[in-house]
Chain A
Amino acid sequence: MKQVIVHPERCVGCMQCMLACAAAHSKTGALISAISESPRPRPRIHVGAGRYDEGFPNRCRHCDPAPCQMACLPGAIYRQTTTNTVLINPDVCINCASCAMACPYGVIRYHADPLAPADKTIAVKCDNCIARQHKGLIPACVEVCKVGALTFEEMDAAMKKKTDQVARSMSAEAIAADHAPGFSLLNTIKRAQKEINLSR
């Protein structure tokens, strides 16, 4: 089955995935109408700044076993095996934040959600856009990503690609191939700026 794969080295931090995610999880499903909805739709992917201000799209890894699922007091968190997705049942969630204490990536947020019971604050996180997937669409963050930092691929194929990359770079004769030269340049500049600022 296909899964969202994050390529952090390609992220430029444009945050379009956040916007697309919020719109995809709104009542109306479109950005133009979503902005006037109440509660305001919020993203479930969170672009943060890394050590040198490089972008990083932080989203649920759908861990197996999932620490949030094991920590959930009312048993609201479960795994949908057909899509390998960890989901939160908004009706059962009691907003106790036990999952916040368990998530090693800090990707769970707590707020009212357009798709949950009205005015109820609940734990909210990435659901792999399963509603879109049912309609034959790919996850909204992947669809909108312009730089290939988020892809929707078969996990085995993606792993093979990465293994091949690493294997090639291990050869003594190999010239270190830069798989994303433009992004490396951008991140090098960001890093240099940061280091120059730090040295002042």
Chain B
Amino acid sequence: MNYVIIGNGVAGVTAAEAIRQIDARGQITMISDESHPPYCRPMISNLLEGAVDVSRLPIRGPDFYDRLSITPTLGSRVTSLDVNARTVTTKGGQIFAYDRLLIAAGADPRPLDAQGLDLGGIFFMRNIAQVQEMIAALADTRHALVLGGGLVGFKAAYSLLKRNIGVTMLIRSGYPLSMQVDETAGEMIQQVLCDHGLTVRTGISVTAFEGGGRVQTAHLSDGSQVPCDMAIIGKGVFPAHGFVPTDRIDTDAGILVDDHMATSAPGIYAAGDVAEHIDIARQKRWVNAIWPEAAAQGRVAGFNMAGRALAYRGSLSRNVIRMFDTDVMTAGRVSPRDTDETCRFFSAADHRRQTYRKLVFEDQILVGFVMINQIEQGGVLASLIQSRTPVKISAHHLLDPGFNVSRLFDR
């Protein structure tokens, strides 16, 4: 059997490992446009912050490819896929034939529509190389502009503030992390960063950058200007399936996969940020481009590719962020854009302890939560969402910081 894996991220890695558990002899080729061996993508913000050095990012040992007899083709992006001929072609013209193909190509940062994007000092924050360029530019950076109030924007802003660089964040929506949290939590998070020097401007975007070689000024949509010597674009990501023939493989936002991570084309599977399965909390098709789901999906895809039928239970959007002394954990449907009149809400806040938590139920099923501080029990709540277990106890018990899992047991 000849396996080809497009992508060298955690989905591709866990898939290769799952394949090798079952098939010791099949050929495995991994193709990636990044030239680094497999590393932990979420930790690039720790790298920017200076909390870890680059040697801490690899998720497997240097012998990973040898140990699993994998042929890596790094620094080479796949540009086309021929479903009939069962081949993929890279930008450099290399052709790879496959019996089983995994598309774990990840996602690309959403571009910004503004003038002057060719200036130096303007970055996406998606991979090690970009963060290393940012770090190299830090010595000459006094003020940075972060575009977007999502997770990447927040992590970038936090990392730069930790390095004592002034940061202005521009967000189009009313409050930060509006995809993940409700307004109360969003404002608490914003306040923490503002207390440490962040400037936030809402309902505004960049129209043009200006500078001689390197960016010096950003022109904003309200006609004002902000001086900046670095800009980070954090406007989200989109699945990297531009090379996929959409007339042969069903795609929506992502590549559609069934419970076995198989696409609509024979022998082709997809996993990770590029794949679209079912969201457990929303009970509909959704791309949850997060690291733990990529790891889980890759594993399921790998087993199925090697012949062991294994079903995936669906994904759950979730995140945890620690910024200064504040912890934020969120999962499922919390943002107003994800909730409606069928939802019941329960919340509690303790200003002295700086805690806030909100639970979202549909009937007796927990479908979302956000917690600020005292997040230790968050995993219990996340697993309640994932298992869709009807919650028979009062929601107020779940809101209690002293809550523990035994309350859920009916003895």
Contacts and interface: CB of A to CB of B under 8 A. Distances in A.
Nearest to A187: B411
Given A49-B406, A50-B409, A95-B322, A102 B375 contact: no
A124 B375 CA distance: 14
Given A50-B411, A96-B322, A102 B379 contact: yes
Q: Majority SS of interface residues in chain B?
A: mixed
A110 B325 CA distance: 12
B325 to A, nearest CB: 10
Interface stretch (A19-27, A36-44, A66-74, A155-163): A66-74
B136 interface: no
Interface residues of A, number: 34
Given A102-B379, A104-B379, A110-B376, A74 B405 contact: no
B145 interface: no
B331 interface: yes
A94 B51 contact: yes
A70 B43 contact: no
A94 B52 contact: yes
Contacts of A62: none
B337 interface: no
A98 B320 contact: yes
Interface stretch (B83-91, B160-168, B196-204, B288-296): B288-296
Interface residues of B, number: 37
A101 B376 CA distance: 8
Given A74-B43, A94-B46, A96-B320, A9 B411 contact: yes
B388 interface: no
B324 to A, nearest CB: 13
B80 to A, nearest CB: 33
Contact of A97 (B40, B46, B52, B329): B329
B95 interface: no
B411 A8 contact: yes
Contacts of A75: 40, 59
A67 B382 CA distance: 12
Interface string A78-121: 00000000000000101111111111111011100000000000
Nearest to B408: A51
Given A70-B295, A95-B322, A48 B402 contact: yes
A51 B329 contact: no
A145 B52 CA distance: 41
Contacts of A54: 406, 411
Contact of B404 (A48, A71, A102): A48
A51 B405 contact: no
B59 to A, nearest CB: 6
A54 B52 CA distance: 44
Contacts of B406: 8, 48-51, 54, 56, 58
B327 interface: yes
Contacts of A92: 56
Interface in B315-335: 318-320, 322, 327, 329, 331
B320 A58 contact: no
Interface in B147-193: none
Given A101-B318, A101-B378, A105-B379, A94 B43 contact: yes
Interface string B256-296: 00000000000000000000000000000000000110011
A25 to B, nearest CB: 17
Interface string B32-52: 000000001011001000011
B194 interface: no
A106 B329 contact: no
A5 to B, nearest CB: 16
A70 B292 contact: yes
A70 B59 CA distance: 11
Nearest to B409: A50
Given A97-B327, A101-B329, A71 B292 contact: yes
Given A58-B405, A94-B46, A73 B291 contact: yes
14 contacts: A8-B409, A8-B411, A9-B411, A50-B411, A51-B393, A51-B409, A56-B409, A71-B295, A75-B40, A98-B42, A100-B378, A101-B292, A101-B382, A109-B376
Interface of B: 40, 42-43, 46, 51-52, 56, 59, 291-292, 295-296, 318-320, 322, 327, 329, 331, 375-380, 382-383, 393, 402-407, 409-411
Given A51-B410, A101-B379, 17 more contacts: A8-B406, A48-B403, A48-B404, A48-B405, A54-B411, A58-B405, A73-B40, A73-B291, A74-B43, A74-B52, A94-B51, A96-B42, A96-B322, A98-B292, A101-B329, A105-B379, A110-B376
In the complex, the 6 A-B pairs of residues with the closest C-beta atoms, listed nearest first: A48-B404, A56-B406, A104-B383, A103-B379, A106-B377, A50-B406
